[in-house]
A and B are shown apart, each in its own frame.
Chain A
Amino acid sequence: MGDLIRFRDDETHEEPAVTLDAFLGQSNATAVRLEPTDDPRALIPHLSRLSLIEVSFPKFRDGRGYSIGSILREAGYAGELRAAGDVLVDQIGPMRRCGFDAFLSDAEIDRDVLDKLLSLHAHVYQKTVDGRAPVWARRHG
Chain B
Amino acid sequence: MYQYDEYDQAIVDARVEEFRDQVRRRLSGEMTEDQFKPLRLMNGLYLQLHAYMLRVAIPYGTLSGKQMHMLAHIARKYDKDYGHFTTRQNLQYNWIKLADAPDILAELATVEMHAIQTSGNCIRNISSDQYAGAAADEIEDPRPWAELLRQWSTFHPEFSYLPRKFKIAVIGSEEDRAAVRLHDIGLQIHRNDAGETGFRVFVGGGMGRTPMIAPVIRDFLPKADFLSYMEACLRVYNRYGRRDNLYKARIKILVHEIGADEYRRQVEEEFLHTRTLGLDAPQAEFDRIAAHFAPPAFESGLSDEIDRSDPDFALWLDQQVVAHKVPGYAIVNISLKPTGGIPGDASSAQIDLMADLGETYSFDELRVTHAQNIVLPHVRKSDLYAIWQKLDAAGLATPNLDLVGDIIACPGLDYCSLANARSIPLAQKISERFGEIGRQRDLGELKLKISGCINACGHHHAGHIGILGVDRKGEENYQLSFGGSGAEDASLAKIIGPGFSEDGVVDAIEKAVNVYTALRTDGERFIDTYRRVGEAPFKEAIYG
Q: A residues within 8 Å of B by Cβ?
A: 60-64, 66-67, 70, 74, 88, 90-91, 93-95, 97-98, 110, 113, 116-117, 120-128, 134-136, 138-140
Given contacts A66-B238, A70-B158, A120-B17, contact A126 B35 (CB under 8 A): no
Is B29 in the interface zone, CB < 8 Å from A?
no
- B21-A67 in contact (CB<8A): no
Which residue of A is nearest B240, CB measured?
A: A64
Q: B residues within 8 Å of A by Cβ?
A: 5, 7-8, 10-11, 14, 17-18, 21-22, 25, 30, 35, 38-39, 121, 151-152, 154-163, 235, 238-239, 243, 273, 277-279, 281-282, 284-285, 288
- B25-A113 in contact (CB<8A): yes
Given contacts A74-B277, A116-B21, contact A98 B157 (CB under 8 A): yes
- A67-B277 in contact (CB<8A): no
- A127-B238 in contact (CB<8A): no
Bound-state CA distance A88–B26 (Å) is 14
Bound-state CA distance A67–B161 (Å) is 10
27 contacts between A and B (CB under 8 A): A62-B161, A63-B158, A63-B161, A63-B163, A64-B238, A66-B158, A66-B238, A67-B238, A67-B239, A74-B273, A90-B39, A94-B157, A94-B160, A98-B158, A113-B21, A117-B21, A122-B10, A123-B7, A125-B151, A125-B152, A125-B154, A127-B278, A128-B158, A134-B281, A136-B285, A139-B284, A139-B285
Q: Which 9 A-B pairs have the closest CB atoms?
A: A63-B161, A94-B157, A97-B157, A136-B285, A135-B7, A136-B281, A125-B151, A66-B158, A140-B284
- A126-B279 in contact (CB<8A): yes
Which residue of A is nearest B154, CB measured?
A: A125
10 further A-B contacts with Cβ under 8 Å, apart from A94-B158, A121-B155, A140-B282, are A60-B38, A63-B160, A63-B161, A66-B159, A90-B39, A117-B18, A121-B18, A128-B157, A135-B8, A139-B288
- B151-A63 in contact (CB<8A): no
- B14-A67 in contact (CB<8A): no
- A124-B155 in contact (CB<8A): yes
What residues of B have a CB within 8 angstroms of the CB of A93 in the complex? 157
Most chain B Cβ neighbours within 10 Å, of A95, A110, A134, A138: A134
- A121-B288 in contact (CB<8A): no
Bound-state CA distance A90–B282 (Å) is 31
Bound-state CA distance A136–B38 (Å) is 28
- B35-A63 in contact (CB<8A): no
Bound-state CA distance A97–B11 (Å) is 15
Bound-state CA distance A64–B278 (Å) is 22
Bound-state CA distance A11–B327 (Å) is 71
CB distance from A127 to the nearest CB of B (A): 5
What residues of A have a CB within 8 angstroms of the CB of B239 in the complex? 64, 67
Bound-state CA distance A136–B150 (Å) is 13
- B243-A121 in contact (CB<8A): no
Bound-state CA distance A43–B281 (Å) is 30
Bound-state CA distance A116–B21 (Å) is 10
Which residue of A is nearest B21, CB measured?
A: A116
- A121-B157 in contact (CB<8A): no
- A66-B21 in contact (CB<8A): no
What residues of B have a CB within 8 angstroms of the CB of A113 in the complex? 21, 25, 30
Most chain B Cβ neighbours within 10 Å, of A63, A88, A128, A140: A63
Which residue of B is nearest A107, CB measured?
A: B35
- A126-B21 in contact (CB<8A): no
What residues of A have a CB within 8 angstroms of the CB of B39 in the complex? 90
Given contacts A61-B38, A113-B21, A140-B282, contact A125 B160 (CB under 8 A): no
What residues of B have a CB within 8 angstroms of the CB of A127 in the complex? 277-279
Which residue of B is nearest A88, CB measured?
A: B35
Bound-state CA distance A140–B288 (Å) is 10
Given contacts A123-B10, A125-B155, A127-B277, contact A60 B282 (CB under 8 A): no
Which residue of B is nearest A61, CB measured?
A: B161
Bound-state CA distance A26–B239 (Å) is 26
Which residue of B is nearest A90, CB measured?
A: B39
What residues of B have a CB within 8 angstroms of the CB of A123 in the complex? 7, 10-11, 14
